[in-house]
Amino acid sequence: MTTLRYTKTIAFVTMSTWTILPSSAWESEVSPEDFTVSRVQYGGHGRRLGSNDDTCEASIAGQPWQPLRLGVHYIDLETDLPDTAMRDYVRKEAVPRAVSYWQKTLKVRRAQAPIRAARSCRSEWLPGKCARVRYEGGGASCGSINGSPIMIPEDYLDELITYGGCYTDGTCIYPTVHPAGSGFTDVDMVILVTAKADNDCGANGVGTFAFALSCQRDQCDRPTFGLINICPQMIDLRSQYAKDELVGTMIHELTHALVFSSSKFPLFRYADGSPRVPRDPSDGELRPYSTRYQCSTSGGLSVTYPKSNGNYMYVDAPGVVEVGSARGMNKEDCKCPVGRMGSTSSSDMQKCLLAPKGNCVFKVVTPKVVEKAREYFGCSTLDGMELENHGSGQGCRVLESHWEQRILEGELMVPVTGFSYNFMSEITLALFEDSGWYLPDYSMSAKMYKGMFFGYKQGCSFVNDKCINSGGDVTFEAGGKKTSHFCTAEDDTESRCSLDLNSKVKCTIKDEAAPFSQYLYGGPVKHGKSYYGDYCPIWESASSWDCEMGRFDDMSRLNGELFASDSVCLMSSLRRSQYLGGGKVKILPNPKQVSACHRVECSADRQSYTVFVAVGFAGDSNDVRPLGTCRTEGQIIYDPNNEYSKEVSAFKYEKGYLTCADPALVCAVRNYPHLSLKSNNELSDGSSGPGPDLGAEGFAGNLRPGLSLLTVMIVIILSITLN
């Protein structure tokens, strides 16, 4: 006798949110995902791949790498963004620029048939035999906002058959067909874009800015559908600074949706399509490497590991992420479920969680990432690229989805950034290549210069040792090497220039005890303020100090400063005397050198530059005079002949001098492709990439020429949503 059978299934998606906090930072956390598989057709097989015999390896065999195509579909934008200017900026500039950057940077094995999303089945009679759909009409969602699912349009859904019942011999009865739609043609991934006011959205420049998620993947595990939601009350078009902030947000979010998620690491593949992490031979799933655990933050962090019905799932990725050692944290002390190191108890697991201490080191150890990390830091023995080991709040996750802040400050994919330039490194592009899903163009990363980028060519001691030794000096404990990257209490009242010379900076050191013993540098009251940066005190900028977009105040006027696109930060003690009227002149003191923004003009061969000082009081860019020419680093220039001491607008310069920065850095050709898009999908070199295919509500129109610096500091928080 055959009987009816019932099995319940649940699907998960991962959501990442960008939040702007008063401290202006980025941060993020990622939860495990097991998003729906919807197979696609690669190559000219003449059929869609649908059977269990259609492996990734077979489907991509012989298929060439071709430029990525991202399709965009806007949902309810007319309703949710009634402001025409905001809506147009989202549709015509912010999203298209982010899409265009990744289309020009990445290649994939292209889908040859329309992309479709698998419909959601709530329960099954037998594996692959759906009993009941999750949504009325047999639809599928891509996340939810305020508890309401964001439905994928019917045109993009695949066929699903439900049955009134099935017998144990596999025979099913009373079929109902939910037909396939036309799909999204000529694309490799579909991005749904919304602008809905979620309960977690911020307001008045503080709080969540946007979030993104992936919700469908193909038989090679590459994401094929995703969602980006922009919080409408956070959109600000009053300045170029604010506009560029939104563009940067879209680029970062797309990076997470495409590849950079700790829950995607176990899904990585080799270039031939074979999985990096071994699968269950019976069905190709990751179950042997996934474990549920119970985690609670009520009354303090508590963990039960493992627990079959736990509220968190950890999916290990041996060969992709491993436990490592650095800065006094030893892998032997971290019995974490990473790299299949053996049994893990609840107490061991609690030590492995991201929040709050960051006791363990986790590294991406895939070949290309290791190669590019070694090149970047100038360390031939580096065994992996560190992931961030802190999480916001009392987090229950094992792995973060960003690079370690302590060693890669300012890179696009670290959790917090305070640099005026956010740069895309080859390390991040290498992660795309090691996923097996993409082939990146490494020329689309920023051009590197030693001394300009945090950690670049700083050597093994910079990566592996503590930032400040036990004596409180800015040296590495093992290497004994001095660095300009960190500061101490002696620098607390000083101002300096950022590494890239684009901004004035100050030391972030705090005069209070560090919260954890491993971050006590030179005594109990000397440490930085960022736990993401391992409490290392660094030189930090602010938007008002940026040499392009800074604000004039009395001191900057008296320093002869000028904020402009061709201004850089230099150390100067130049001061002006002030005419008080009635024949009286107030002579200002001649203090030690401080950071100041001055216009510069580089020579044709970029071997020298002329420094200009502002003469007028209003900061008029035309009211300037040349001070001198810098040819070498450390050169001193001043006004020995008192040529400019004549009164101009009641001011004159009194004594003081300016110290030249390295002309190689000042006159370097700053190449930031991800922030340099021109119109028609072009970069500053005039080359162009493929344009995105437009969906039913697809974006259209030209892209704005040029793109200013992204000087924002945004926070990202990724959370799990049960679909």
d(CA 574, CA 584): 21
- The answer to whether 39 touches 128, Cβ cutoff 8 Å, is no
For the chain, what is the radius of gyration of the CA atoms?
28
The conformation of residue 686, written as its DSSP 8-state character, comes to: S
In angstroms, rounded to a whole number, what is the distance separating the alpha carbons of residues 89 and 703?
A: 10
Q: What is the C-alpha to C-alpha distance for residues 313 and 688, in angstroms, rounded to an integer?
A: 42
CA distance 131 to 151: 20
Residue (of 540, 532, 600) closest to 566 by Cα position:
600
Are 390 and 354 a contacting pair, CB within 8 Å? Answer: yes
Q: Would you say 256 is a known binding-site residue?
A: yes
Candidates 36, 29, 45; CA nearest to 10 is: 36
Question: Are 497 and 595 within 8 A, CB to CB?
Answer: yes
Map residue 449 onto helix, strand or coil.
coil
- To the question of whether residue 390 is assigned a binding role by annotation, the answer is no
- By residue count, the chain amounts to 723
Phi/psi at 303 (5° precision): -135, 135
Give bridge partners of residue 19 from the DSSP assignment.
208, 715
363, 102, 433, 37: CA torsion to nearest 10: 90
Cis amide prior to 367 (ω within 30 degrees)? no
- Of 398, 193, 217, the C-alpha closest to 290 is 398
Dihedral angle over CA of 275, 279, 284, 288, nearest 10 = -150
Phi, psi of 557 (to 5 degrees): -65, -40
CB atoms within 10 A of CB 282: 7
29 given a catalytic annotation: no
Which residues have C-beta within 8 Å of that of residue 600, sequence separation ≥ 6?
A: 566, 567, 568, 609, 610, 611, 612, 666
Instruction: Provide the β-strand partners of residue 115.
Output: 184
Q: Is 527 annotated as a binding residue?
A: no
3-state secondary structure of 681: helix
Catalytic residue among 27, 93, 253, 561: 253
Q: Phi first, then psi: what are they for 176, rounded to 5°?
A: -125, 125
CB 611 within 8 A of CB 630: yes
Catalytic residues: 253
Binding residues for Zn(2+), as ranges, are: 252, 256, 402
Binding residues, as ranges, are: 252, 256, 402
